[in-house]
Amino acid sequence: AQSVSQHNHHVILSEAASLELGCNYSYGGTVNLFWYVQYPGQHLQLLLKYFSGDPLVKGIKGFEAEFIKSKFSFNLRKPSVQWSDTAEYFCAVKSNNDMRFGAGTRLTVKP
């Protein structure tokens, strides 16, 4: 069955630490990949997306993600997190008309 896996349920970091959140999917064929962020009490907002071309995608607020086709992965990274990055992060994969989200990773950044 097609699925999206986010292995880290809750990540706790101190400010200025580096971040990497894992995302793996099990779709075959062509996929479009997304990372969304949900700040406390707010709706989902797009961080970045990959459709084609350079597998290293840069998004807003210093986030980037790398698509590794051979590993079916699309991990999210940020070299130095801030307290304001505390939020829930969702990986999403779209194939044809089917879009599925991972279970989400809660990031807590300690000041």
Partner 1 sequence: DTAVSQTPKYLVTQMGNDKSIKCEQNLGHDTMYWYKQDSKKFLKIMFSYNNKELIINETVPNRFSPKSPDKAHLNLHINSLELGDSAVYFCASSQVGGLMETQYFGPGTRLLVL
| Binder among 15, 51, 58, 61 for partner 1 (CB under 8 A) | 51
DSSP secondary structure letter of residue 55 = S
- Site membership for partner 1, residue 94 (CB under 8 A): yes
Distance CA 37, CA 100 (A): 15
Point out which span in 23-31, 61-69, 77-85, 87-95 binds partner 1 (CB under 8 A). 87-95
Query: Which are the contacts of 3, defined by CB distance < 8 A and separation ≥ 6?
Result: 25, 26, 100
Query: Half-sphere exposure (CA, 13 Å, Cβ side) for 58?
Result: 3
Name the residue nearer to partner 1 (CB basis): 18 or 74. Answer: 74
| Binder among 8, 32, 86, 95 for partner 1 (CB under 8 A) | 32
- Site membership for partner 1, residue 103 (CB under 8 A): yes
How would you classify the pairing of strands 32-38 and 10-14? Answer: unpaired
Closest distance of CB 104 from partner 1, Å: 5
**29: enclosing H helix or E strand:** none
Which residues sit at the interface with partner 1, rule CB under 8 A?
Answer: 32, 34, 36, 38, 42-46, 49, 51, 88, 90, 94, 97-101, 103-104, 106
